[in-house]
Amino acid sequence: MGNFKPFRDKFTTIEGVAAISKRRQRDIAEALGFPGTEAAAKILAKISPESVAVDILLQLREALRREGTLKPLSHMHMLNAGVLALATNPALLEASTPALLAEVAESVTEKYQARASDMLSDTLEMLAVIDPTAGRPKIQSLARLRSMHTEVSMKFLALRPGGCVGTRLPSPPLRGTRDITPILTAAALVEEGSDQNNCVAAYAERVRRRTTFIYRVLRPERATLSIVRGEDGDWRIDELECRSNTEVSAITRQTVESWLDQYALSV
């Protein structure tokens, strides 16, 4: 109830919000600026509580007023952070099939982190550089998204070797350690991708935009780490994987999380 202000300025008191909260769900939705329909109310009811955030709800509010958003979400039984990130971006939604959205909805990881949308966004950006005349793909599954991202990354790097590889990247926000070292150049990203058999080299643009930073993890086991800033302002794990995108051990994840905790603003 305390988060009503970003949605509706006219409700200036908790008492006013409490009165609105007694109405039907579609009336509450309309009062908060969402479409006042049963379909919109049902979509809001499908959102997993763990995936709720003010920013994504504001984006969803705008998306539900765009043609083409309501129908794919109406057919789903649950919505998480991953699905909402895809559905609120018109370009990403156009490239997503119902099968992909359903798979993302079932993913435990996508409940908290919109990794599929980041990967799809990267893929579309690189495709636009490789062939500006090409239409958007239709992605049928997470497996196909991962394989396409890798394929497109390799083509992108081959197309732009000079502009990508030789440049220094923005300084990372967190100091590394002896076992967790920041990757400082695009050339080092390419080397990391080669060593670890992953597509991290294609993340150079994300690093340049300062939305993602990449670290090389040496111990307890060899892994590649990407970090992003959470809504609380703290840097958190985005991806942490061993060679060929395999899962890290519990002790490795715990080691990285303990390192990040040292810089937590919310502690």
> Residue 64: its pLDDT value, please?
83
What single-letter amino acid sits at 57? L
Across the chain, which has 267 residues, the per-10-residue mean pLDDT values are: 49 53 62 74 82 78 84 87 91 94 90 84 87 90 89 76 63 94 89 84 83 96 94 88 90 96 72
pTM over 0.95: no
> Residue 236: its pLDDT value, please?
92
Write the DSSP string, the chain: -TT-TTT-TT--SHHHHHHHTTS-HHHHHHHTTS--SHHHHHHHHTB-GGG--HHHHHHHHHHTTSTTTHHHHHT-S-B-HHHHHHHTSHHHHHHB-HHHHHHHHH-SGGGT--HHHHHHHHHHHHHHHH-TTPPPP-B--HHHHHHHHHHHHHHHHHHSHHHHHSPBPPPPSS---SSEEE--BHHHHHHHHHHHTSSGGGGHHHHHTTS-EEEEE-SSS-EEEEEEE-TTS-EEEEEEE-GGGPBPPHHHHHHHHHHHHTT-S--
CA dist 247 and 224 (Å) reads: 11
> Residue 93: its pLDDT value, please?
93
> Residue 13: its pLDDT value, please?
55
> Residue 162: its pLDDT value, please?
45
